[in-house]
């Protein structure tokens, strides 16, 4: 029996659903239900404050605490069905949650609560995915929330990996943020994705391509919902959700990781 997987969802809700789907899509099975991996998916949006709002000083409660409570519940559920002796591997499908101000405190909370679930770092796995999928590129474009951009999460990791980073001009960042967060037609607000949200996301993508990006990271888990293509005009699009899903499979059942 393989080790179980845990999804800390609700950040946003459709992102958790998408990660769950990606895990299934990238798992090799014998065609039976029983050969799939066991996935414990907890979506508790009401417990977890907005990550970008926290990083921008508009929300006083660190989302780390709410997510730690979710993983506490996950651990109790794992024990209740006989998984207490098997280390679980977790993933949180939210790029912004991995800002050091949030993710480090979350890890401290897991340790404090003695929760033996190893949570992978989504952004580190994304950089690894880039190195494996498109090893020839040097100039990487990044589309992300304002919170992720402000903390330079991707910029730092990519530059440490030897890449040059391209982002939309500062005055265009609100266009990306609006495509994700607009209360009437943003990706978080409507499912399926509205035409306006997709067009606005594509406009931002166009800016990066015109700036010479050789690959583009869709660095908010909502963005691949609006731009599901694997490439655009021959330029590879990197979905951190796929990177995380594949990393989770790799950690618990490497023989079941499908070719990409």
In this prediction, residue 73 carries a pLDDT of 97
One CATH from 3.40.50.360, 1.10.10.10, 2.40.50.140, 3.40.50.1860 for 123-240: 3.40.50.1860
15-54: pLDDT as tens digits: 999 999 999 999 999 999 999 999 999 999 999 999 999 9
Query: Which CATH architecture group holds 5-122+242-256?
Result: 3-Layer(aba) Sandwich (3.40)
As a dihedral over the C-alpha atoms of residue 88, residue 92, residue 93, residue 98, rounded to 10 degrees, the angle is -140
Are 5-122+242-256 and 123-240 the same fold in CATH?
yes
How does strand 139-144 pair with strand 235-238? unpaired
66-107: pLDDT as tens digits: 999 999 999 999 999 999 877 899 999 999 999 999 999 999
104-121: pLDDT as tens digits: 999 999 999 999 999 999
Q: Which residues pair with 27 in a beta bridge?
A: 257
In this prediction, residue 1 carries a pLDDT of 72
120-159: pLDDT as tens digits: 999 999 999 999 999 999 999 999 999 999 999 999 999 9
Domain ranges of the chain: 5-122+242-256, 123-240
195-253: pLDDT as tens digits: 999 999 999 999 999 999 999 999 999 999 999 999 999 999 999 999 999 999 999 99
pTM across the whole model: 0.94
* Residue from 158, 127, 132, 140 nearest 260 by CA: 132
Q: Which residues pair with 119 in a beta bridge?
A: 90
Q: What is d(CA 60, CA 2) in angstroms, rounded to the nearest whole number?
A: 39
* Residue from 135, 133, 144 nearest 224 by CA: 144
Computed over its alpha carbons, how large is the radius of gyration of the chain?
Answer: 18
Q: Give, in order, the Cα–Cα distances in Å from 57 to each of 50, 51, 54, 98, 145.
A: 11, 10, 5, 16, 15
* Residue from 13, 236, 219 nearest 139 by CA: 236
Long-range contacts of 248-254 (CB under 8 A, 24+ apart): 248/5, 248/23, 248/89, 248/90, 248/91, 248/120, 249/23, 249/26, 249/27, 249/37, 251/3, 251/89, 251/118, 251/120, 252/2, 252/3, 252/4, 252/5, 252/37, 252/89, 253/2, 253/3, 253/27, 253/37
Preceding omega of 192 cis (within 30 degrees of 0) = yes
Q: What is d(CA 193, CA 218) in angstroms, rounded to the nearest whole number?
A: 15
* Residue from 84, 109, 98 nearest 15 by CA: 98
Confidence at 2, pLDDT banded by 50, 70, 90? confident
């Amino acid at each position: 029996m393989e080790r179980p997987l845990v999804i800390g969802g609700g950040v946003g809700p459709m992102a958790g659903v998408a990660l769950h789907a990606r895990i299934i899509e990238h798992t090799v099975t014998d065609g039976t239900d029983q050969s799939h991996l066991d996935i414990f998916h907890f979506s508790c949006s009401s417990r977890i404050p907005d990550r970008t709002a926290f990083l921008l000083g508009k929300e006083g409660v660190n989302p780390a605490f709410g997510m730690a409570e979710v993983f506490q519940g996950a651990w109790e559920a794992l024990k209740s069905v006989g998984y207490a002796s098997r280390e679980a591997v977790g993933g949180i499908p939210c790029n912004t949650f991995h800002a050091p101000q949030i993710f480090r405190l979350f890890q401290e909370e897991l340790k404090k609560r003695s929760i033996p679930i190893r949570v992978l770092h989504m952004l580190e796995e994304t950089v690894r995915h880039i190195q494996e999928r498109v090893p020839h590129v040097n100039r990487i474009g990044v589309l992300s929330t304002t919170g992720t951009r402000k903390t330079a999460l991707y910029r730092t990791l990519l530059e440490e990996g030897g890449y040059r980073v391209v982002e939309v001009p500062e005055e265009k960042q609100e266009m990306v943020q609006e495509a994700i967060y607009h209360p009437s037609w943003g990706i978080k607000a409507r499912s399926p994705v509205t035409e306006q949200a997709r067009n606005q996301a594509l406009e931002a993508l166009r800016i990066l391509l015109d700036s010479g990006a050789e690959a583009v990271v869709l660095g908010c888990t909502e963005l691949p919902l609006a731009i599901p293509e694997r490439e655009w005009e021959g330029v590879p699009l990197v979905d951190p959700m796929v990177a995380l899903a594949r990393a989770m499979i790799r950690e618990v059942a490497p023989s079941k990781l499908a070719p990409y």
